Amino acid sequence: MLPYDESMRILADKLRQCQTRQGWYRMEQPLPAVAPLAWLHGVDSSCRLYWTERSGNRSVAGVCPELDLTLAGAESLGETFALSREVLQAIPGAHFYGGMAFTDQMSAQWRAFGYGRFILPRFELIQQRAETVMACNLYLPGGEESRRKCHEAAAWLERQASRIVVQDTDGYRAPGIADRYCVPDQQQWRYGVEQVLTAVAGQTLHKAVLSREVRLKLEHPLHLWDFLQRWHSENPRSYQFALQVESGDCFFGTSPERLFRRQSRLLWTEALAGTMTRGMDASEDQAFEHRLINDDKNRHENALVLDHIRDVLAGLCERLESDREVSVIKLRHIQHLIHRFRGVIRPGITDYDLLTTLHPTPAVGGSPWHEARHLIHTLEPHSRGWYSGVFGSLGLNDTEFAVAIRSGLLRGRQLSLYSGAGIVAGSEPDTEWQELDNKINTALALLDG
């Protein structure tokens, strides 16, 4: 394998020799192993994105948007997906990366992200199993302008070639937390939970997921890419994602939850809801797992997600099977109930259909959705933005979206961490408050020096 700098120069040479006919182009060049997160450190771009699959099979760092599809509202999603499909048909190996908000009710702090944003990066560093590849996606408008674009891209690659690639993050230092407060505070939270319980008792609602924003002021700047790597090493079987926009603001997260994965017409999705802490030792952990599996409130939280998925997918799938029994997935500080689905979608069903039908599941929204949505928007004092939205990778034959929970928004030294809890009959406000803490404990422990 050629060294990193030589490989980058080879790709630059290929670009300089590229034909200039109008159209989409994609070029790939194998690289020696470089961790995408480490690479993002030093790379020159005002927009950076990161995506890693839960399976650990594929991690991608993408920079310099070649096509940036920013959505003003939900109504442009169909058009955006149709356009991305046209591009992907021309360069089938490529992917768009990005995400979408929980709903279209968003405050100004989320403006740079739009309602949704799907990016085809010009440069992609892809680590797939044991292989690392640098890919370049380019649209050439034809003639002299094509030549100019190719030369510009080649020059960029050559500049990166001589930069030092940071390989490990042993030097990570927690930034320290100077100040923190919760929105809502615990008093307001109790009120919100009581309101949901009243609606549940009145039988207009089965479940609503209420959330909280913890606003932190960091003592020192956060080394975001190092932080993400550390967070992932605590929860290795999670998705990880980040989108840093031109202002430097970054939305990121480490989520255990899949919205869906599609490969051709095969589909995988799941109901992930219901939470318990981990035990201090193996036997206590086992006891907690047993308690979680047998707890009515947690089972009910999960069952409502399960029923929703089964109902909405019935019309989209030719076949749909689910696990017979609920099982448990374990994260660093908590464990969840999970129920998996496998299916075959009908011909003609698109990622747009799957996304808009599944999102938001009652793992982040509620049931019925219409009632839950109203309560969430009236009771939550903060704006969720992209928290509990979706984030993923959109391909021609392989698409995967995570539910964007366990996530946060970094703006300079201000960091907001979000977490939510499913409120159903039997929920107790203070226990659910504790669940919110448990869900962000892994991230908090890495921040608090």
Ligand X SMILES: C=C(O[C@H]1C=CC=C(C(=O)O)[C@@H]1O)C(=O)O
Site string for Mg ion, 221-260 (x = CB under 5 A): ----------------------------------------
In the list 18, 406, 408, 417, the residue contacting ligand X (rule: CB under 6 A) is 406
In this structure, how many other beta carbons lie within 10 angstroms of the beta carbon of residue 449? 11
**Amino acid at the residue 385:** G
Catalytic residue among 149, 207, 380, 400: 207
Chain centre to alpha carbon of residue 291: 29
Is there binding between residue 364 and ligand X (CB under 6 A)? yes
Query: Quick one: which segment of 190-198, 271-279, 318-326, 378-386 binds ligand X (CB under 6 A)?
Result: 271-279
428 has catalytic annotation: no
**CB 182 to Mg ion: min, Å:** 18
**CB 406 to ligand X: min, Å:** 6
**Amino acid at the residue 228:** L
Please report where in the chains the tokens 């034909």 appear, as a residue.
19
Is there binding between residue 273 and ligand X (CB under 6 A)? yes
Is there binding between residue 197 and ligand X (CB under 6 A)? no
| Burial class of residue 292 in the structure, from the number of CB atoms within 10 Å of its CB (0-12 exposed, 13-18 middle, 19+ buried) | buried
**CB 321 to ligand X: min, Å:** 22
- Token pair, residue 23, equals 């159209």
Is there binding between residue 276 and ligand X (CB under 6 A)? no
Q: Which does 84 bind (CB under 5 to 8 A by kind): ligand X, Mg ion, none?
A: none
Q: Quick one: 53 or 435, whose CB is closer to Mg ion?
A: 435
Q: Quick one: 131 or 296, whose CB is closer to ligand X?
A: 296
Q: Which does 363 bind (CB under 5 to 8 A by kind): ligand X, Mg ion, none?
A: ligand X
In the list 4, 420, 427, 442, the residue contacting ligand X (rule: CB under 6 A) is 420
For the four alpha carbons of 395, 251, 72 and 103, in that order, the dihedral sign comes to positive
| Residue least distant from ligand X (Cβ) | 420
- The residue among 308, 309, 381 whose CA lies nearest residue 342 is 309
Q: Which does 209 bind (CB under 5 to 8 A by kind): ligand X, Mg ion, none?
A: ligand X
Contact 214/443 with Cβ under 8 angstroms? no
Q: Indicate the length of the chain as a whole number.
A: 449
Q: Which does 292 bind (CB under 5 to 8 A by kind): Mg ion, ligand X, none?
A: none
Is there binding between residue 363 and ligand X (CB under 6 A)? yes
In the list 272, 355, 376, 379, the residue contacting ligand X (rule: CB under 6 A) is 272
Contact 224/250 with Cβ under 8 angstroms? yes
In the list 335, 419, 427, 438, the residue contacting ligand X (rule: CB under 6 A) is 419
At residue 137, what are phi and psi to the nearest 5 degrees? -105, 125
Is there binding between residue 439 and ligand X (CB under 6 A)? yes
Is there binding between residue 360 and Mg ion (CB under 5 A)? no
The angle formed by the CA atoms of residues 102, 278 and 327, to the nearest 5 degrees, is 70
Helix (H) and strand (E) counts for the chain? 11, 20
**368 prior amide bond cis, ω within 30:** yes
Under DSSP, is residue 376 helix (H, G, I), strand (E, B) or coil? helix
Binding positions for Mg(2+) are 301, 435
In the list 336, 339, 359, 382, the residue contacting ligand X (rule: CB under 6 A) is 336
316: Cα within 13 Å, side-chain hemisphere: 24
The DSSP string of 279-316 is PSSHHHHHHHHHHHHT-HHHHHHHHHHHHHHHHHHHTT
In the list 250, 317, 355, 421, the residue contacting Mg ion (rule: CB under 5 A) is 421
275: Cα within 13 Å, side-chain hemisphere: 27
152 has catalytic annotation: no
Q: Quick one: 7 or 211, whose CB is closer to ligand X?
A: 211
Is there binding between residue 396 and ligand X (CB under 6 A)? no
- The angle that helices 143-161 and 4-16 make with each other, rounded to 10 degrees, is 170
In this structure, how many other beta carbons lie within 10 angstroms of the beta carbon of residue 290? 12
Active site residues: 207, 257
Give the interface with Mg ion as residue ranges (CB under 5 A): 275, 421-422
Give the interface with ligand X as residue ranges (CB under 6 A): 209, 211, 257, 272-275, 301, 336, 363-364, 388, 405-406, 419-422, 439
